[in-house]
Every structure is written in C-alpha cells, then in structure tokens.
Structure 1
C-alpha cells in the first residue's frame, strides 16, 4: 500500500496555509475584542449589553459569510477543480482580511466580516477535500487532519501576537495589527498553489486520465517498487469506482434522495453540528471575557488565551498521531464522553467560585477550561477527516460543503449568542453544553461507522453503496466484488500519445 512521501508532505504544507489563514483570520477578531483600544476606537463600553449585541452581530455575520462560502466553493471545485477553487478562495479571503483590518466604523467592519467569512469558509472546506484526495489510505487521517492542525497554528500565532500588541503604546495598533497580519498567509498560499498539482481524483472524474496518472504516480511513488504497482492498483480502483458513481446524478437534491447518500449527508450534518454543540466556540470566542469574569486582568486574560490555544494545538497534533491507529469513531466516543463530564465540572465550579476571592477555586475553573480544549481535540480533527473521506468523488465537494455549513450553523447556534448568554445565565451554559455532549455521544455510538485505513473508493460499502473492487492488504492487487476469489490486476502500458484510456486487463 502506498506510503506517505516527501512530495505529499510538501504539497500538504502549501495547501494547509489555507487552514492557517482560517485560524489566524478567525482568531484576529477574538483577540481584538480583548484589547482595550478596540473599545476606545469604536467608543464602546465593554461591559454593556449593547456592546455584547454588536460583537454578537459581527460574529454572526462572519459565520453567515463562512457558511455561504463553504457551500459556494462546491460549485467552483466541481467545475474548475480543487486547485483553482483554492486560489479563488484565497483571493476572496485576502480581500476580506484587508478590508476588515482597514475598517473605520462598526458598520464597515460588519460588512467586511461577511466577505472575510466567505473566503475563509471556502478555504476551510477546500483544504480537507484536497488533502483527502491526494493522501495514501494508511495516512489519510494524518494528512487530512493537518487541516485542523494548521488552523490551530493560526490561532496560536495570532494569540501570541495579541499578547505582544497588548503592550503597544498605540492603542489603535494593538487591535488593528493582528487584523492586518491575517493577510500574510494568503500572500504565501496564492503563489504556492502555482506549484501544487490538481487532485488526481478530480481529473479522473473529469476523464483526464493521462494527467491524473502522472500526478498519482508521483504522489504515491514507492521507492522500493520500480513498477509503481501500488499507484497502478489505486489508479485502476479509482477509475472503476468513478465509472460506477458517474452513472448517478450528483446534485444536492440527489444527495438527500438516494438512501446511501442521504445517510452520509445527514450524518455529516449531525456530526459537525454536534462538534459545535459542545460549546467550543461559545467558550473560546469569548475566553478573554470569561477569564476577566474570574478576576483576571486584561493582560493575564490575553496571556491565558494564548496558552489555551497553544495547548489545544498540541493536543490536535497528538490526536492526529493516533487517529489512524485507534480510529475516528473511538476518538469521537472518548471526546463526547469527556466533554460532558468536563462541562458538568466547570458548571459546578463556576457556580461555587465565580465572584469570590477563592484563588484555588478560580484556578480550578481555569484548569477545567484547559481540560475542555484538550479533550475537544478528540472530536475536532477526526470530524473533519471523517467528513472529507466518506463521500464519493462526484459528491465530495458538496458533502464537505454540507459539513462546513453545519460547522458554522453550529457556531451561530451555540457560539455567537454566548456573549449575551454568559452575561444572562453564566455557569448554566456549561450544563447545556454538557447535556448536548451526552446526546451526541449516544447518537455517535449507534450511527457513526469506523473508516480508518479503508481506501476511499471502498468506504461507500459502509453506507450501502456498491463497491466495484476492493484493494488487498498489500495494496498491489484488487478483488472484484462479483467474484468469490482474489483477482490480480494489471494495467497495460499506454501506447505513445494514446494515454491510459482505461486500458485495464484482468488476469
């Protein structure tokens, strides 16, 4: 079976700049509302309900833009290809980030955050699509999960920059600089994409077999095998499966008509919405404010936010190291169960200690917030991986767009109102998050299947689709589903200028 190569890694590092862009761009506003200069510039009272409503509106419209971008990218990704869609999303994100950084009024910032959201939301959807389609089966979880790790690094970078900006003498610079720096990742992403190949699965779907074979052979070249048998086997499996899938009309409507596609669509909507129902954005987006409620000054609140995002990113890396060994489903179960317990614990601690001078009690509240972000990584990265791998090639862009749409719908539902909710009901919010985690745990146990190490062309069988061939354990032969015994596959060498043209022989 094909192994992860240095070429795979190099491509992933370029493409994950899109994930880094999302993380930095999203975090830039979170850190800005933690700076006193933001409220002075816009003449806002940080403790008023009016200010909380404005921040809620800004975040809600950003999420709306991101949801629109995540759905819109599917049309571009299917028509023009994953690579061109990534480039377009990067351009929109760059323009949106620049406009947000230059905002001189709240109304302008609200409007520009919608544009920013469109670009960043599209990037968040496209990065895992591309990575899943170029990754070898045995390391698909690791490579696709780099999406989450990359936007984690974006959060970390922005958080520590914000800590430094807090000490700036120029109050306007303190909140505007992180917003301006959110343009930088796209300045590296856009030229980098010029050297990235198109997804071979997209090219096969579009019947561009010659180019697809050249790319796949380089992507999954095994130095120990001079005949590229692994790549040949994978190529043929993709071609045969795509031939069958192309017999179906791959539209959003059809996704909810065909039973096997409907099941996948509903499960991915549930899973990404469930991940947000844990309250992660409700906690993280207002973390500086929450820390302030525990008696910490602004500087310490920003410092703890930076440490918090750093810890979260470290645990993302740990989850990626085990996701292909223990599986996506196992991590989901561990994550939802742990988050339910932690949410209950945080509620009880804040009920008892918030507003008191008990340093040990308030420290325990902070500790549980850190435990929350650690165990949240059991569901975060695996959910993105799972969503990107369960759909057939013809539906993958649309399927992931549904997943990211559900992600932002969950953010709007559970994260955006958090500023007002925490002011109104305080610690009781954690009880709501804990209860929703219990519901998600039960549904996951009964309905989410395991996908680890299964070639993407075979995952459809888990949902009732017909799979034409199955790859053997060594990755160098295929078994035809219609036959009882094992059948080896050979791919004939194409004649000059004729291309592959699906010249597959069965021995």
Structure 2
C-alpha cells in the first residue's frame, strides 16, 4: 500500500485531530447566544450552560488518561483511527440531541476522541519529525485547532442566520463528523512511528520508515543511520529499566519531566484562553458589541505567522513573553471593566451577564486588549504548550506522559469551562483579576523550572534532564550531533563517523554541563 512520506502532508492530515477540538469549541461558543439554541434548550442558566460546555472537557480528560495505554498497546496510528470512529459517533449523538442530557452525552463521547487526538497527535508528529523542524510540525496541531474554531464558527453563523428552528444547530453539529471521516481514511496511508516500532523490536521497519521520511528511501543516508542509532540507544536504555507503570512518571528520575509536561498544560489553560475562546461572546455583549469573528481570525493568523519561525526561537522565551503580556492584558481589562462598568440584571435578556460597560471608548478598549491577548496567546502559548509537553518525556514514558499532560490540560479546561460562566454572573470583572494572578505566578515557575528544549533531538533532551542543569542556564547547552554528522559526510567516511558521534553524544553533553 502507498505510504505518505512528506512530513508536511502527514502533519496536515494528522492534525485534523486537532481541528476536531476546534470544531467542538465553536460548536458551543457560536450557539450560546443564538435564539435557536436558547429556545430549544429552555434558556439554560449559567450553571447548566457551564456544565454543557465543560462536558466535552470531561470526556477529553478521560480520553487523554486512557490514550497513553492505548497508544503503547496498538500504536500511534491505530489509536488515532479509534479516535476518529469515536468522534463520528459523538457527532451523531449531538446532531440528534432531543434534550440537554443527550447533548451532554454527545459532547462527552466527542471529548473521548479529542482526549486521544490532542495527546497522541503531538506524540506521533514529534516522533516522525526531524529535530530541526519538530516545533513547527507539532505546532501545526494548534493551528489546526484554530482553523477548526474559525471554520465551525462560520458554519454555525451561516446556519444561525439562514436556517430557522433546531435544524440550524443540528446541521452545524452534523458537519463535525466530516473531518473525522477524512482523518480515518488518510490514516491508512500513514507510516507508524519509528520509535514505537523500535520499542516493539521491529528494527527493519524502523529503518525503512526513517529512510522514507528523511531520505526518500535511501537506507544509507547518514541522517537516517544517525537517528536509527539514537533510537536504538533510547530503546536499549528503556529496556534496561523496570517496566512502564503510571506511577513511574513520578519516580526519582522522572518527576521533573512530569512536572514540566503537566504544568505547561495546566498553565496554558490558566492563562485564560477559555475566556477568549469559549465565552468571548459574553465579553463582547458586556462591552455592547456583537461581532466576535475577528477574534478567531487573529488567533489563526498569529499562530500561522509564528509556525515557520518557531524552531528558531527558544521555547522559554516564547512562554515567558506570553505569560507577561497576557498578565498585563488581564489586569488592563479588569481595570477598564471596573472603572467604566456597572451592575445590571441582564443583557439582551441573558441573565448570565450582570455587568455592562456603557462608555463606548472603554468598551472599544476592552475589545482591543482582548484582541491583543488573543494575538499573543496565538504567538506563544497556544502552539508552544503542546510542543513543549511532547518533547520532555523519554521514549519509554512518552505516550503515557503526554497523555497525562493532555489530561491535565483537559481537567483544567473542564474546570474553567464550568467556572467562567458563573464567574461572569457572580464576580463579573474580578474574573480577569484571577487570570492575571495566574499569569503572574506562571512567569516565575517557568523561569525557575523549565529547561530549554529548542533545537535538540528527543534523545538529547533526555540527557539534558539527566544532567540536572539549572533551567535558566540550559539554553547554553547546544545540540552538536547534527553538525558532526554533516562533517562526517563532507569527509566521506559516513558510517564510521556516525557511529562514533552517536557514542560520543552523551559525553559532549557532560562536557557542556561542566562548562555551564
């Protein structure tokens, strides 16, 4: 059977799994202010609406927890096939919803699929991509999420304006199943992850896959042989230790990696992205403005702009810049809302909203700062959070570690999706103070705890953690392996030099540790 070898084509189809998440975000955020939805589901109050919105995140949490075990057992590719089928079932349940209970069940089922894809697409692409472009390849998942948000928002907007009654949201929710059919069909032509194949001892398939992906089938290519040796070393190291258990993620040599992987996903949520995406319609209504389409466009454009350059920028710089700017944005919005807003019983009949800003200049200021927040979120945390958590775990624990990291993302996504609607009702502008404090705290945590992974192979990142270099000095440790392979090629003695450099890689890092 024909196998796709172009890494960008693989990323384009593989990240449809991310687009499913984006579809689900807009499938709710686009409808919570529409009469067809509100009338059919009897105008849910803030607590019920929070539960409906958060149900998908609850399912995603469970899916992400199970994803690592499924992925290790059947492979990266087959786990994504399973997720596609689950998503199609969830879309069908949502499309035919007769009441709130059925809608919540449909979103839970869809969430199971999103939990698997959100964690394992990152793992899959990180293991397929060469180190020099790993960031942009994994980051395409976040861009796909944003495309999904925009596409579903436009579909929902068109249905809301052009279709009357419950058929409006049924059509939109039914269309969600189409991308899953495309993903399922394309996966039959995908290669399996060479690192997963190596963990199962299928070395000829590993070599063939690496050659297909990185050298147009040339088994003797030095880059292929170099990466093959690195994978052999990583697999050998993992086989010399005890079996993989969930609690092993918190062992003596693993807890720092687990802390980095899980907290980067936690902070991505606590940064306040849910306010910007799930409930942006509420912010616009409180500010007296109605059209939030530009938010999705800004989100999409900023992430698209940064992806070609994301492998040239240190991960820590992106994360720290994002947390600082978003912190300023949250406090600014809180100040404007507190200074120029006042309490009301409802806005346009929506009793969830109890705070309104009448001053036109202040309202425009709130929207402008919201756009700035979304832009910097798209530049920094939106792609980098997923990239970083996919890099920090060793081969042995990668699927389970990234699964736990994604589960952390989803449990906080669940909490915030449920919390934000009642928060706008009960504490109004103070909601932004809470997110501002989170951003302030994460800035210090990132600086003190997150080592730099930019530009290093997955195996070199293993050595970086084992060396216990202070995170704020880790950017001084440079990857040398690729340069030495190129030197070997120029000298003509490819195989011998590749093997020698693979043997020396760990000692190179040890020397750099002493220098740092």
TM-score of Structure 1 vs Structure 2, range by shorter chain:
0.7 to 0.9
| Closer, same or farther: CA 226–57 of 1 in aligned 2, 3 Å | closer
1:391 aligns with 2:393: yes
Give the match for residue 473 of structure 1. Answer: 483
Residue aligned with 1:195, SS: coil
1:162, distance to aligned residue in structure 2 (A):
2.1
- Within 5 Å, which residues of 2 pair with 1:273-422? 273-296=266-289, 301=290, 303-304=291-292, 306-354=293-341, 355-377=356-378, 378-422=380-424
State the number of aligned residues.
467
Question: 2-side partners of 1:418 and 1:153: how far apart?
Answer: 24
Give the match for residue 260 of structure 2. Answer: 267
Residue aligned with 2:483, SS: coil
2:126 to 132, 139, 150: 132
**For structure 1, which runs of at least 5 residues remain unmatched after alignment?**
45-49, 487-507
1:357, distance to aligned residue in structure 2 (A):
3.2
TM-score, scaled relative to structure 2: 0.87
Give the match for residue 502 of structure 1. Answer: none
The answer to whether the Cα contact below 8 Å between 1:67 and 1:405 also exists between their aligned partners in 2 is yes
1:173, distance to aligned residue in structure 2 (A):
2.7
Q: Deviations over 1:209-261 (max 9, x none)?
A: 111111110101169x894111111111111221112222222111112x231
Greater share of residues in helix = 2
Question: 2-side partners of 1:463 and 1:74: how far apart?
Answer: 22
Give the match for residue 155 of structure 2. Answer: 161
Question: 2-side partners of 1:280 and 1:449: how far apart?
Answer: 24
Question: 1-side partners of 2:305 and 2:314: how far apart?
Answer: 13
Higher mean C-alpha displacement, 155-164 vs 186-195:
155-164
Question: 1-side partners of 2:189 and 2:65: how far apart?
Answer: 26
| Closer, same or farther: CA 106–329 of 1 in aligned 2, 3 Å | same
The answer to whether the Cα contact below 8 Å between 1:25 and 1:97 also exists between their aligned partners in 2 is no
1:447 to 425, 446, 449: 449
Give the match for residue 9 of structure 1. Answer: 8
| Closer, same or farther: CA 199–479 of 1 in aligned 2, 3 Å | closer
RMSD: 2.1
2:141 to 147, 151, 162: 147
1:74 to 65, 68, 72: 68
1:484, distance to aligned residue in structure 2 (A):
6.3
Question: 2-side partners of 1:25 and 1:212: how far apart?
Answer: 35
| Closer, same or farther: CA 421–455 of 1 in aligned 2, 3 Å | same
Higher mean C-alpha displacement, 145-154 vs 51-60:
51-60
The answer to whether the Cα contact below 8 Å between 2:25 and 2:278 also exists between their aligned partners in 1 is no
1:479, distance to aligned residue in structure 2 (A):
4.0
1:483, distance to aligned residue in structure 2 (A):
8.5
1:106 aligns with 2:100: yes
Q: Deviations over 1:338-385 (max 9, x none)?
A: 011111111111112333432221111111111111111211211101
- Within 5 Å, which residues of 2 pair with 1:423-438? 423-438=425-440
| Closer, same or farther: CA 350–222 of 1 in aligned 2, 3 Å | same
1:90 to 84, 89, 93: 84
1:83, distance to aligned residue in structure 2 (A):
0.4
Higher mean C-alpha displacement, 318-327 vs 145-154:
318-327
1:107, distance to aligned residue in structure 2 (A):
1.1
Question: 2-side partners of 1:275 and 1:11: how far apart?
Answer: 26
1:116 aligns with 2:116: no
Question: 2-side partners of 1:96 and 1:484: how far apart?
Answer: 51
1:34, distance to aligned residue in structure 2 (A):
2.6
Question: 2-side partners of 1:376 and 1:158: how far apart?
Answer: 20
Give the match for residue 165 of structure 2. Answer: 171
The answer to whether the Cα contact below 8 Å between 1:470 and 1:480 also exists between their aligned partners in 2 is no
Question: 2-side partners of 1:265 and 1:228: how far apart?
Answer: 35
| Closer, same or farther: CA 482–201 of 1 in aligned 2, 3 Å | closer
Question: 2-side partners of 1:163 and 1:113: how far apart?
Answer: 20
Question: 2-side partners of 1:71 and 1:202: how far apart?
Answer: 19
1:157, distance to aligned residue in structure 2 (A):
0.4
Residue aligned with 2:162, SS: coil
Question: 2-side partners of 1:53 and 1:123: how far apart?
Answer: 28
Give the match for residue 243 of structure 1. Answer: 236
**For structure 2, which runs of at least 5 residues remain unmatched after alignment?**
342-355, 469-478, 487-497, 510-516
